[in-house]
Structure 1
Amino acid sequence: MSPEQLDRHLQQTLPHGRVAETRPAGCPAIRLYLFDPAVLEGPLSHDEAQAVVDEPAYWSFCWASGQVLAGWILAHPERVAGKRVLDFGSGSGVVAIAAALAGAQEVIACDLDPAALDAAQANAALNGVTLSRCEDWYRRPGDLDVITAADVLYDPDNRHFLAEFRSAAPSVLLADSRVKVLGDDTYRRQAVIEGRTWPDLNEFEEFNRVRIYHAGS
């Protein structure tokens, strides 16, 4: 998967969009192909803005929680080393790549968006690691040791995944900046770390405080 192919994915939403290689400020050890803000010479047209809302290319940004969890995993490699990891809602693949760099036996990027899985694999190659792919959480492989997930609770309807993650693997690592109270006491907070989406979307400051949780053994 080449950057040019990622450009074509992005241009389905933004005709002039393109990706560029960058190192997110929150995890500079990892290189990613992300949206290049230099293409925005002015405000988006109404049609472009509507397309972004209707079919957002989430994978073309590295969200704050993903950066923070990736950096935390690189600082705590023992949490994933030698284990089989599934990264839920993988997006750009930053967390999955961090797990692979930290010595995971296998890392599976799971995302409903085939373009996101293409991006995750392209970004993995950029960092000299490989990822398996899974397009359907409910058809995921078995024998998982760790589930990772970042920025997946923005929709209240996704809260049920908290229990599903715990049922799918003995260990869960979760990062979120939107929900202050998970409502599930089995998730124990490990750290609170500042982070910003890359490229920066100038989000509210409250969304830049990322909480990392662990559930299980």
Structure 2
Amino acid sequence: MNNASPQDFVRDNTALTTTPLLPEIQLHLATEVTPLWQATEETLAATNLPPPYWAFAWPGGQAVARLLLDRPELVAGRSVLDFAAGTGLVGIAAMKAGAARVQCCDIDRFSLAAIALNAEANGVEVKAVSADLVGRPLPGIDVVLAGDVCYEKPMAERVTAWLREIATTGTLVLLGDPGRAYFPAGGVEKVASYTVPTSLELEDREARETAIWRLLANA
């Protein structure tokens, strides 16, 4: 097991399933939180691996994905970046909604493996990108999508400031958020909201009202 590839690790520690909000999309997801966390720590501790966020469909991402399937005109024919992609759920939804091309960006190599497996399971092609894009320009990107990126203050502030700069170029920036503590208080415009069923292992309630916000350039 110590020699398992990232894709093998994803396959061995998840099940291919769907979420109630998104029956159209199959994902390799952890069926229980604790066993996967333990497997990550025990089997891969030497690699300084981050927590396995890639194995869960977080509410913000689910809401953005649902919006794209309900309103495909937001991404149809456009070039899309799924930022901090995790499972790749949002990027996969964008492709299913008719995006011309999608990049799914994450710095966790296990996330990149999950993205590849999940895209294959859904019969779509996305480009998995391993890079910290924060602070960089995004030439050629028409839409930036992100879910649940405001759970830690330093990251939320850094990412929000960068995405506001991206929005000044005319890029559409949509953020899915279930009321995280560090989501910006202003400079956003609500696009839609969904009630997302959740697990009490991950959240403090069985469903979270989750909004999708357009991030405005000037705030």
How far does residue 201 in structure 1 lie from its aligned partner after superposition? Answer: 2.3
- The C-alpha deviation readout for 1:95-125, integer Å capped at 9, x for no partner, is 0100010010110000011110111111011
Cα pair distance change 1:38/1:177, threshold 3 Å? closer
Partner of 2:160 in structure 1?
Answer: 162
Partner of 1:90 in structure 2?
Answer: 85
Partner of 1:118 in structure 2?
Answer: 113
- The C-alpha deviation readout for 1:66-99, integer Å capped at 9, x for no partner, is 1111111100101111110001100001001000
Cα pair distance change 1:147/1:39, threshold 3 Å? closer
Q: 1:142 aligns with which of 139, 147, 158?
A: 139
Aligned length: 204
Partner of 2:212 in structure 1?
Answer: 212
Q: 1:81 aligns with which of 73, 76, 82?
A: 76
Question: Which one is further off, 188-197 or 95-104?
Answer: 188-197
Counting aligned pairs with the same residue, the percent is: 32
> What is the RMSD computed on CA atoms of the aligned residues?
3.3
1:171 aligns with 2:172: yes
What is the TM-score of this pair, normalised by structure 1?
Answer: 0.80
How far does residue 38 in structure 1 lie from its aligned partner after superposition? Answer: 10
Partner of 1:14 in structure 2?
Answer: none
How far does residue 216 in structure 1 lie from its aligned partner after superposition? Answer: 5.2
- The C-alpha deviation readout for 1:14-47, integer Å capped at 9, x for no partner, is xxx621110111211100111133995xxx69x7
Partner of 2:102 in structure 1?
Answer: 107
Question: Which one is further off, 118-127 or 207-216?
Answer: 207-216
How far does residue 212 in structure 1 lie from its aligned partner after superposition? Answer: 0.9
**Contact kept in structure 2, 1:27 and 1:68, CA below 8 Å:** no
Q: Distance in 2 between matches of 1:185 and 1:7?
A: 40
What is the TM-score of this pair, normalised by structure 2?
Answer: 0.79
How far does residue 127 in structure 1 lie from its aligned partner after superposition? Answer: 0.5
Structure 2, unpaired ranges of 5+:
none
Q: Distance in 1 between matches of 2:180 and 2:31?
A: 29
Letter in 2 for 1:157: P
How far does residue 140 in structure 1 lie from its aligned partner after superposition? Answer: 7.2
**Contact kept in structure 1, 2:7 and 2:117, CA below 8 Å:** no
**Contact kept in structure 1, 2:189 and 2:216, CA below 8 Å:** no
